Amino acid sequence: MKLIKRNIRLVVTIVSLMLIALIAYGAYSLSFFGNRWFSSKANTSLRQAKRDVVPGRIYDRNGVQLAGADAEGKRVYHQDAAMRKALVHLIGDPGSNVAYGVESFMASLLYAFGDNYLTRLSAALSGSPRHGYDLRLSVDSALTRLIAERFPAGKAGAAVVMNWKTGELLTLLSLPGFDPMAKDPGIEQDPQQPYWNRATRWNSAPGSTFKVVTLAAALQNIPGVMGRTFTCTGGYQVGDTVITDAGMAAHGQLDLKKALAVSCNITFAKLALEVGDENLRRTAQLFGLDDYLLFSDLVVENAAYPKGSRPMKELAWTGAGQSALSVTPLHMCLIAAGIANDGVMMEPKLLLQAADGAGNVRARISPSVYKTPLSKGDADTIADAMRAAAQTGTAARAAVSGLKVAGKTGSAQIDKQENTNAWFIGFLDEPSLPYAVCIVVQDAGGGGEIAAPIAGRVFDYLKANYGGK
């Protein structure tokens, strides 16, 4: 009998622990994956809510209404077609063709899933539809449209602008866009894939913009490296490959600050070989590569550092930002923002506030740290080199009079493209204007010629519109 009781107690204990673990996992999953569940097309509760609830309005940070509802409760968007196209990947569309837009990812707020039972019962008895919560986003719609207008005609790409102190996203632009209120019968056959959000889902080698990570790895693993001199003769043999620079340039003797400013592939290839694959991988992982990215306000594709044992030529090209690196534009903006913010990367945020019809705040922004990959000293060193790049180097076309601009360009070579992908990452080194930028124009040419001028126009806009804030 005692043995039976002891076994019963053991079984009860085990079952209890399993239930506790299940409840804990459920709470964890709801916390980290709740928005993903709500945004799923398989969510029958969401489909029902879209029939029974008038969706909440969506505003930008300046009070511009981006989405509302007509007299019948159906979703309508900004009256200007150019604005709708520029914001469609951020906001989403009625058919949920854009994955993880605000319309789907924040559906629990837009359709008032937080309403209590009495509110739901009152609406049911009155016969009136419930109204979802109104959202105010961090995005600046005018800036987003401006960037879209500055892109070369017909080119795909992305732009991200964020506050490096708070993580607030001012722009999350993907091109080409489409009009969510006008059905294009040929859009699904478009080779540029207009439904695809390139800012958050397009993974690619970031070209020479990755050199800031290589420099970080050198600072963390090679004592006194900033005081050393390197030699660039125009070609550097690594195995059966010759590392070269754009235009077959030979930079001669240069230190790392100048090497970043002129974007010397040979110097950064040598640096990667000296740092070693494991150390470079470790630093890249500090910046979030190989992470499973979980953010509260948006979904971002995971970035990846090349895996496995690799030949030296691949490591050398990785140091210069090529090889099998895979990073999204938003992630590269986070890296630039972390350098600007004394080595602290903030989580990207879109939602400033959600409020119900009575004005009660149901959710609001809560800035949070994502990672701290750098010491303040190392961040300052990299920022200083990026300022030199914007003053006299490859990023000079991003410079704006009266502002401390820091930048790094990239021209990423992708197979079967006629031109390179033009990249720029950078930031304003101004406490009153804490903004970081990533611009990518696909198949367009050099980052210094194509992407940097767009970034310069962004910085100019920020100076004019946020300088006194």
* Domain spans of the chain, in order of start: 207-349+366-466
Q: How many CB atoms lie within 10 A of CB 12?
A: 10
DSSP structure class, residue 187:
G
For residue 224, is it left (φ>0), alpha (ψ between -120 and 50) or beta?
left
Q: Which two tokens stand for residue 417?
A: 């493209």
Name the H helices within 40-116. Answer: 44-52, 81-91, 102-105, 107-110
Burial class for 353, CB neighbours closer than 10 Å (0-12, 13-18, 19+) = middle
- For the record, the structure tokens of 309 come out as 């044992």
The pLDDT assigned to 365 comes to 93
What is the CB-side half-sphere exposure of residue 309 using CA atoms within 13 A?
Answer: 0
* pLDDT < 50 stretches in the chain: 21-32, 37
Q: Give the distance from CA 410 to its chain's centroid.
A: 17
pLDDT (0 to 100) of residue 28: 42
pLDDT at 12: 62
What pLDDT is recorded for position 127? 65
**The predicted structure's pLDDT at residue 22:** 47
Residue 413: the pLDDT is: 85
The CATH architecture that domain 207-349+366-466 belongs to is 3-Layer(aba) Sandwich (3.40)
